[in-house]
Chain A
Amino acid sequence: MNSEGRNEILFKVLMNGVAPLVAILIAFGIGGIVITFLGTNPVQFFSKMVEINLGSLRGVSQMIYRATPYFFTAMALSFAFKAGLFNIGAEGQMFIGGLSLAWVGFTFKFLPFPILFILCLAAGFLGGALWGAIPGYLKVKRGAHEVITTIMMNFIAIAMVQYLVQNHFMNPEWGIPHTPTVAKGAYSPSLGKIFPWFPAHTRANVMFLVAIILAVLTIILLQKTKLGYEIRATGLNPNSAEYAGIDISKRTVMTMAISGGFAGMATANFILGPGSHYFLKSEYGGIGFSGIAVGLLGRNNPLGIILAAMLFGFLENGGLGVQLFFPNVPRQIVEIMQAIILIILVIVLELSRKFIKRLQKRG
């Protein structure tokens, strides 16, 4: 094998394998040190987490339940990345999509399963897509950078959703602002109902299967279709893409819409899946922003993102469960670890890039 081919393989291993692993290990290391300072044995702490998540099928199911929404917000980031766009508006797109799908679920009560369920998903996608398409449109028409507009759109969405829920959808007697509950036809069945070997009445639900299907569909879209080729070409080099006759403006708006659509479905796991069955804004805060970390950790690859989402689900579910055994360690330790993973990851990725460049120069 020539040195160029060898370098390329080395590059892929470094970027997609070594870098994420190093970031995860360092995060666990720092987490372990903090836990030690609090007088708890980190090995016991983390093994309890493993036991909670992986010790039983029920644990696995809880982990999947926590992981599922991250998949959608991470896909929002990564899909936009393919076209060279930076969508950090998943948080807002998630809220708009979530309220949209809840609205369909509690308004068209007469529709049976799975029609209402599918309509809810479509509404979530469309709500998020609309919220994502606006920054895309403003970018191509007025040159407004999508990073700033998506940040601003997040806060507009949060205020808007709060206004709508409190003034239009909520019964004042409820106390906590939430929407009415969605009809049975919109419920996302528990995985236990589909796979007989899965424990019954667990919270992991069909939305996890939807995530996997979407991951596969996205790979096919990007690799096997003309649209996917055009999106990737726009991301790789907008100038030559335009020269090749690709309508970049159209692709930009469309990419942002699909990206937002992914985020728009993130809360379906909570609203349609087993649980309260209504839209409760305070439950979902941060899933959009953490999706950025999950997307990068999954190296913007749909299958990688499923793995990365699982890790975040592992940390979150583990953090919730481990509190019972080590009450002196607040579960927010996992939030710190998630942030450390992200910051170490970007640094290690840049170091890997530099390392490979040096190798190439040497020949």
Chain B
Amino acid sequence: MDWILEILTISTFLATIRMAVPIALAALGGLFSESTGVINIALEGIILMGAFTGTIITNITGSPLLGILMAVVAGIGMGLIHAVASVTFKANHIISGVALNLFATGTTFFLALVLTGGSQIAVSESLPRLWSISPVIYLTIAIFFASGFFLYRTRLGLRLRATGEHMAAVDSVGISVIKMRYMGVLISGALAGLGGGYLAIEQANFFTKGMSAGRGFIGLASMIFGKWTPWGAAGAASLFGFAQALQFRISIPFIPDEFIQMLPYLITILVLVGAVGRATPPAEDGNHFLKEG
């Protein structure tokens, strides 16, 4: 029964938080994008791009802070491509997302080989720890509080969410739907990029090809399981982070690792079919803004 005691230790708790951070940031990113009605399945690729950019910049400049910042910038860059394709040119959101994921997989692997000759790059330095925890973890918690306030308590946040629920109404009061959607997608990119930077610089201390390993999609799953709310997403991300932490730390009798791996995806399907409470996505999810006349 040792494995039960192991679950309850403080180190398992900390591991859960560490695992949950990139998932939670991706989930919140997905939430910002979908709150304006733009589906963003490029989160996976954005994490990867953030992880790669963060690693390279940290190693070149010697500053992990700059690395994290540039990971965010890289995420915004990916978000910008997604916004240009799916908002300005009204491409299908899913296809644009698939293209960006393929792009990120190919580009990061390619550049890693060109720059270092290998597919794995060690990170030279991490951010100084605050009470032995990465400062990005505190930042993430702060971002969640700020997002909750921003989305539900400010005028701009309300406008963002209104865009996802009823574009025509938003347009009719003179707010630019296009601008709102760009904002949602760019914030989404910034958050997932931060998640990627954290993953490489703070958590793994290296970049390796394909290291996002489904975290973007688990983020998407957390967003759905969390019913498109920041706190729900944070809760779901923590649950999935806990599952990942267990997987790496303890082998639980009778339950294969692969089953724990598939848990987030299985739960998402159960949520979607209404077996574990109903979840309703924003009404305009995936729709294009077509102005008449």
Minimal beta-carbon separation of A297 from chain B (angstroms):
11
**Are A338 and B102 in contact (CB-based, < 8 A)?**
yes
B256 CB-CB contact with A under 8 Å: yes
**Are B272 and A145 in contact (CB-based, < 8 A)?**
yes
**Are A343 and B103 in contact (CB-based, < 8 A)?**
yes
B131 CB-CB contact with A under 8 Å: no
List residues 78-98 of chain B with CB under 8 A from any CB of chain A.
81, 85, 89-92, 94-96, 98
List residues 114-145 of chain A with CB under 8 A from any CB of chain B.
138, 141-145
Residues of A contacting B107 in the complex (Cβ-Cβ under 8 angstroms):
332, 336, 339
| Pick from A145, A151, A286, A290: contact of B217, CB under 8 Å | A151
Contacts A332-B106, A335-B110 hold; do A159 and B94 have CB atoms under 8 A apart?
Answer: no
**Are A88 and B103 in contact (CB-based, < 8 A)?**
no
CA gap between A293 and B100 in the complex, in Å:
11
**Are A346 and B110 in contact (CB-based, < 8 A)?**
no
Residues of A contacting B102 in the complex (Cβ-Cβ under 8 angstroms):
286, 289-290, 293, 335, 338-339, 342
Residues of A contacting B21 in the complex (Cβ-Cβ under 8 angstroms):
none
Minimal beta-carbon separation of A120 from chain B (angstroms):
25
Minimal beta-carbon separation of A119 from chain B (angstroms):
28
List residues 101-142 of chain B with CB under 8 A from any CB of chain A.
101-103, 105-107, 109-110, 113-114
CA gap between A347 and B214 in the complex, in Å:
27
CA gap between A330 and B114 in the complex, in Å:
7
Contacts A38-B114, A159-B262 hold; do A350 and B91 have CB atoms under 8 A apart?
Answer: yes
B58 CB-CB contact with A under 8 Å: no
Interface string of B252-265 (1 = CB under 8 A from A): 00001011011011
CA gap between A55 and B91 in the complex, in Å:
38
B274 CB-CB contact with A under 8 Å: yes
Residues of A contacting B217 in the complex (Cβ-Cβ under 8 angstroms):
151-152, 155
> How many residues of chain B get a CB closer than 8 Å to chain A's CBs?
43
List residues 300-358 of chain A with CB under 8 A from any CB of chain B.
330, 332-336, 338-340, 342-343, 346-347, 349-351
| Pick from A159, A296, A334, A338: contact of B95, CB under 8 Å | A296
Minimal beta-carbon separation of B95 from chain A (angstroms):
5
Contacts A88-B94, A335-B106, A339-B102 hold; do A144 and B81 have CB atoms under 8 A apart?
Answer: no
**Are B99 and A343 in contact (CB-based, < 8 A)?**
yes
Closest to B271 in A: A144
CA gap between A144 and B224 in the complex, in Å:
12
Residues of A contacting B39 in the complex (Cβ-Cβ under 8 angstroms):
147
A292 CB-CB contact with B under 8 Å: yes
A162 CB-CB contact with B under 8 Å: yes
**Are A138 and B269 in contact (CB-based, < 8 A)?**
yes
B208 CB-CB contact with A under 8 Å: no
Closest to B262 in A: A159
Minimal beta-carbon separation of B158 from chain A (angstroms):
26
**Are B85 and A343 in contact (CB-based, < 8 A)?**
yes
List residues 243-271 of chain A with CB under 8 A from any CB of chain B.
none
**Are A335 and B109 in contact (CB-based, < 8 A)?**
yes
**Are A330 and B113 in contact (CB-based, < 8 A)?**
yes
Residues of B contacting A144 in the complex (Cβ-Cβ under 8 angstroms):
269, 272-273
Contacts A151-B41, A152-B268 hold; do A339 and B103 have CB atoms under 8 A apart?
Answer: yes
List residues 264-302 of chain A with CB under 8 A from any CB of chain B.
286, 289-290, 292-293, 296
**Are A351 and B89 in contact (CB-based, < 8 A)?**
yes
Residues of A contacting B98 in the complex (Cβ-Cβ under 8 angstroms):
88, 289, 292-293, 342
CA gap between A351 and B89 in the complex, in Å:
7
B27 CB-CB contact with A under 8 Å: no
CA gap between A151 and B113 in the complex, in Å:
29
**Are A163 and B259 in contact (CB-based, < 8 A)?**
yes
B220 CB-CB contact with A under 8 Å: yes
CA gap between A148 and B96 in the complex, in Å:
15
**Are B268 and A159 in contact (CB-based, < 8 A)?**
no
B146 CB-CB contact with A under 8 Å: no
**Are A350 and B109 in contact (CB-based, < 8 A)?**
no
**Are A163 and B256 in contact (CB-based, < 8 A)?**
yes
**Are A152 and B89 in contact (CB-based, < 8 A)?**
no
Residues of A contacting B265 in the complex (Cβ-Cβ under 8 angstroms):
152-153, 155-156
CA gap between A163 and B262 in the complex, in Å:
11
| Pick from A138, A347, A350: contact of B272, CB under 8 Å | A138
B156 CB-CB contact with A under 8 Å: no
**Are A289 and B110 in contact (CB-based, < 8 A)?**
no
| Pick from B96, B110, B269: contact of A152, CB under 8 Å | B269
- What are 28 A-B pairs at a CB distance below 8 A? A142-B272, A142-B274, A148-B220, A148-B268, A149-B272, A152-B266, A152-B268, A155-B265, A156-B262, A159-B258, A163-B256, A289-B102, A293-B102, A330-B113, A332-B113, A333-B110, A335-B102, A335-B105, A336-B106, A339-B100, A343-B100, A346-B92, A346-B96, A347-B85, A347-B91, A350-B89, A350-B90, A350-B91
Known: A138-B272, A286-B102, A335-B105. 15 other contacts (CB 8 A): A143-B274, A144-B269, A147-B39, A148-B224, A152-B269, A153-B269, A155-B214, A155-B264, A159-B261, A160-B258, A163-B259, A339-B105, A339-B106, A343-B100, A347-B85
Enumerate chain A interface residues (CB-CB to B < 8 A): 38, 86, 88, 138, 141-145, 147-149, 151-153, 155-156, 159-160, 162-163, 167, 286, 289-290, 292-293, 296, 330, 332-336, 338-340, 342-343, 346-347, 349-351
